[in-house]
Amino acid sequence: MTFLFTSESVSEGHPDKLCDQISDAVLDAALAGDPASRVAVECFTTTNTVIVGGEITTRTPLDVEALVRKTLCNVGYTADELGIDGNICNVQVLLHEQSPDIAQGVNEGDGLYAQAGAGDQGLMFGYACNQTEELMPLPIVLSHRLVRVLADLRHSGKLPYLRPDAKAQVTVEYSDRRTPKRVDTVVLSTQHDETVSHEKLSADIISQLIKTAIPAELLDEKTRYFINPTGRFVIGGPHGDAGLTGRKIVVDTYGGWVPHGGGAFSGKDSTKVDRSAAYMARYVAKNLVSSGLVDELEIQLAYAIGVADPVSIRVESFGTATVSEDEILRVIKEAFDLTPAGIIATLSLREPLFAQTAAYGHFGRRDIDLPWERCDKVAEIRERAGLAVGA
């Protein structure tokens, strides 16, 4: 039975993504000088204003205002008519240290349990499938690709009328859950200057963006295109819509194909399992799919604050596993250290690598080297499952 499924992505200039990038820029700056930094930074932006608030415990001297301005300007917000001017906008910084009540549950030996515990309670999902080379669902892969190529067209000057704010949405028709058939609909809204006509913008976006970013075999005469469907998108950025850290969590993950636990990523150091355990769950799922044990895998992890081991682990193989789900659980528990300390060590999460994830998705990235995207546990998984290594 065929069905349609839709995912969306947003550009680096979308107000919510601006806030994610600022939050992660602060996180990376703290980690660069002090790998043990505790960071929980939120950002809010609106007309001519950026507010950064939250909790930081670090030995790194931080110039947060400079980080804000650099992020805005790198994205392209350098004039008020674009939506905000990073050079002159109002920046407010409202930061204080992490609560000692939280810290004692995360510091090894300080809380009720000997091991370093999770920084909060919560549930996280990880996923991988064989739909794409990225081992991700096709709709979110294509949506990310569209906004990333759109940014390239803007930065290169090939389409000089483009401005930073943009969104893409792709609807894919499936033959069944594991078999994408064609692209049914593409929706693309991009900020632009006053000079370009809607007709020229639409023609350029279809020819220079969509038909280069999406494989030709997925497009046909029935594919529908909606380009700036309101007819005008001049006012954008923080002046058009307020932005907030953590409001694009479905964009950040799997495009709605599988559940999201609810916790956002950006601005959080790796003691926060909202982020680190979601990365670990992706790492586990991707290695299991790559090992051939399963063609599609969803994993749920759940934690209690101050407790090291997950309180639950659940797997769903959607009928694609070559072994039982009990066997998959056994392999996961034997092959992967799912404690916060184990996750941090396995994925090198004390390194300042987070700002690069704050736009265009945290998973399925082939343009950057992310530890949780590596398939370096395949041989061990196959051995533990009793399968021939390398077969």
Residues with active-site annotation: 14, 16-17, 42, 55, 167, 233, 241-242, 247-248, 268, 272, 274
Give the Cα separation of 34 and 251 in Å (integer): 30
Instruction: Select from 46, 43, 47 the least CA-distant residue to 68.
Output: 43
Pairing outcome for strands 49-57 and 38-46: antiparallel
Give dist(CA 267, CA 141) in Å, integer: 24
Q: Which residues pair with 68 in a beta bridge?
A: none
Beta carbons of 15 and 45 less than 8 angstroms apart: yes
- Euclidean distance between the first and the last CA atom of the chain, given in angstroms as a whole number: 33
Distance of alpha carbon 276 from alpha carbon 264, whole angstroms: 11
The CA distances from residue 381 to 233, 325, 333, in Å, are 50, 14, 11
Maximum C-alpha span of the chain: 65
Residue written as tokens 């990038």?
21
Helix or strand run (H / E) with residue 383: helix 378-384
DSSP annotation of 114: S
- Classify residue 209 by its DSSP letter: I
d(CA 369, CA 346): 15
Residue 254 φ then ψ, to 5°: -120, 15
Which residues lie across from 84 on neighbouring strands? Answer: 79
* Residues sharing a CB contact under 8 Å with residue 58, sequence separation 6 or more, in sequence order: 30, 33, 34, 37, 38, 39
Q: How far is 305 from 365, CA to CA, in rounded Å?
A: 30
**What is the Cα–Cα distance from 185 to 60, expressed in whole angstroms?**
48
Pairing state between β 224-227 and 179-192: parallel
